[in-house]
């Protein structure tokens, strides 16, 4: 996404009201027992397969790879680098010396990355009411500590004294690490708490909270499960994809007519064209017979479910989200297809199929930010799909902007000028040589 520039006055006007986004994962887990560690005798939807492969407490990737998220002993001294080449060399060295799968941008650019987020919140929220922040998937706690540090030093004392910062973390090991990290400053502990639970479970949020608040999601969207739909050719209808176990341990795909309500809703939001409409159907039939082309499309149903939960639980939330908009060298077919990667002995390798991931590989998707914005508006009620096939109706519109990392940091963290973020990108040189766009919505 192209860099954008916003003045402080424009941003203050845009975000004069805080806003929140509902977040619920993938519904109830399938009751299938694991003989392949993921799928039992009963077929499951692709989103449930991915959820198990990543989050199952016994065999999921994040359960087995407790040290998958890296933590730096100290901040990187960027002013010691002569340029991008020196930075990339240093980053490559860090990865080779570490057994972790990745370092998040907030970790590589600490404390500046978190300081920029804190400044954006302070500049665009109503400080006359207590500041309430939720972070989904807080990692090692680096972001939480950086935000609390910044607010303590730069906000009015009453703002820091009354702040409430809640981390919703599905990993027990990371939840403990967050307490340790934030606890490095004693005064933070009375304002910070970790709720060890799945943020996509609506029950965990309790009653609807009408208080204005902020929800932060950094590198969370890419690991939210997706569904896969398939069409045999240009004129065949879309079908939902299920995963089944055949011939002992072998996994294969099973195609069924579209019936899942979450898939249907996501298809409506994506505005997926029907193969049987638009243009000449006769010409389409001829073209499909001469040049048949199977189609695959990945739908961010996990993200949709998450936003539904967040908007339902926190109707006055403001959202800050950042994630990958592009992934290189993806081998799996389909629009918004994931990268399935594992790391062993210091080197990464990619799988050709998502079915090969049985708890030993990360599965992550690119985030289409225009689609994310549409889903946010849909879940907030501005574009709510009506029953009986009625068209989308307009309700309360969300104020949303998208900008890349460089633009975000240049706007909200003036101390980062020396980093020249357009050249120093906070990702592994082998996988993520790209910037991470941001969505701010209220």
pLDDT in tens, 24-52: 333 333 333 333 457 777 899 999 999 99
Cα–Cα–Cα angle for 386, 389, 391, rounded to 5 degrees? 60
Task: Specify which residues 253 forms β-bridges with.
Answer: 243
pLDDT in tens, 342-400: 877 666 788 899 998 888 888 999 999 999 999 998 898 866 544 445 555 544 578 88
CB atoms under 10 Å from CB of 187, counted, come to 11
The C-alpha atoms of residue 225 and residue 138 are separated, in whole angstroms, by 18
Mean pLDDT check: name the lowest of 146-150, 321-325, 335-339: 321-325
The C-alpha atoms of residue 408 and residue 179 are separated, in whole angstroms, by 28
Going by their DSSP bridges, the two strands 132-136 and 164-169 should be labelled as parallel
Strands of 95-249, DSSP E: 132-136, 164-169, 192-196, 213-218, 227-231, 239-246
The C-alpha atoms of residue 35 and residue 249 are separated, in whole angstroms, by 7
- Give yes or no for residue 208 having a pLDDT over 70: yes
Instruction: Collect all residues with Cβ–Cβ distance below 8 Å to 173 and sequence separation of at least 6.
Output: 66
Question: Does an H or E element contain 297, and which?
Answer: strand 295-299
Give the predicted TM-score (pTM) of the model: 0.80
Cis peptide bond N-terminal to 111, omega within 30: yes
What spatial distance separates the first Cα and last Cα of the chain, rounded to whole Å?
Answer: 20
pLDDT in tens, 85-107: 877 787 777 777 776 667 788 88
């Amino acid at each position: 996404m192209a860099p954008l520039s916003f003045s402080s006055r424009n941003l203050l006007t845009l975000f004069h009201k805080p806003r929140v986004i509902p977040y619920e994962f993938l519904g109830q887990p399938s009751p299938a027992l694991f003989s392949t560690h993921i799928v039992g005798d009963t077929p499951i939807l692709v989103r449930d397969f991915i959820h198990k492969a990543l989050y199952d407490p016994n065999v999921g990737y994040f359960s087995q790879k407790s040290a998958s998220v890296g933590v730096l002993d100290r901040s990187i001294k960027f002013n010691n680098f002569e340029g991008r080449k020196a930075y990339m060399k240093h980053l490559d060295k860090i990865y080779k010396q570490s057994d972790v799968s990745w370092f998040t941008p907030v970790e590589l650019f600490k404390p500046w990355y978190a300081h920029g987020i804190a400044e954006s919140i302070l500049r665009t929220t109503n400080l006359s009411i207590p500041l309430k922040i939720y972070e989904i998937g807080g990692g090692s706690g680096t972001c939480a500590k950086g935000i609390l540090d910044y607010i303590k030093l730069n906000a009015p004392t009453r703002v820091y004294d009354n702040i409430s910062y809640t981390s919703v973390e599905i990993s027990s090991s990371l939840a403990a690490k967050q307490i340790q990290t934030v606890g490095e400053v004693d005064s933070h502990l009375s304002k910070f708490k970790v709720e060890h639970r799945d943020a996509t479970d609506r029950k965990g949020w309790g009653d609807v909270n009408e208080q204005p608040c902020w929800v932060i999601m950094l590198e969370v969207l890419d690991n939210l499960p997706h569904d896969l739909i398939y069409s045999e050719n240009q004129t065949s209808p879309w079908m939902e994809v299920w995963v089944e176990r055949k011939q002992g341990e072998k996994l294969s795909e099973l195609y069924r007519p579209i019936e899942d309500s979450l898939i249907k809703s996501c298809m409506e939001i994506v505005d997926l064209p029907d193969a049987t409409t638009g243009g000449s159907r006769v010409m389409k039939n001829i073209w499909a017979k001469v040049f048949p082309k199977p189609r695959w499309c990945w739908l961010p149903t996990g993200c949709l479910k998450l936003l539904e939960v967040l908007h339902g639980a926190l109707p006055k939330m403001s959202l800050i989200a950042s994630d990958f908009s592009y992934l290189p060298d993806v081998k799996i077919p389909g629009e918004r297809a994931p990268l399935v990667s594992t790391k062993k002995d210091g080197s990464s390798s990619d799988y050709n199929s998502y079915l090969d991931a049985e708890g030993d590989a990360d599965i992550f998707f690119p985030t289409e930010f225009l689609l994310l914005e549409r889903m946010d508006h849909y879940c907030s009620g501005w574009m709510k799909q009506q029953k009986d096939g009625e068209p989308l109706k307009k309700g309360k519109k969300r104020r949303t902007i998208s900008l890349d990392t460089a633009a975000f940091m240049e706007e909200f963290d003036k101390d980062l000028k020396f980093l020249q973020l357009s050249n120093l990108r906070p990702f592994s040189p082998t996988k993520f040589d790209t910037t991470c766009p941001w969505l701010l919505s209220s």
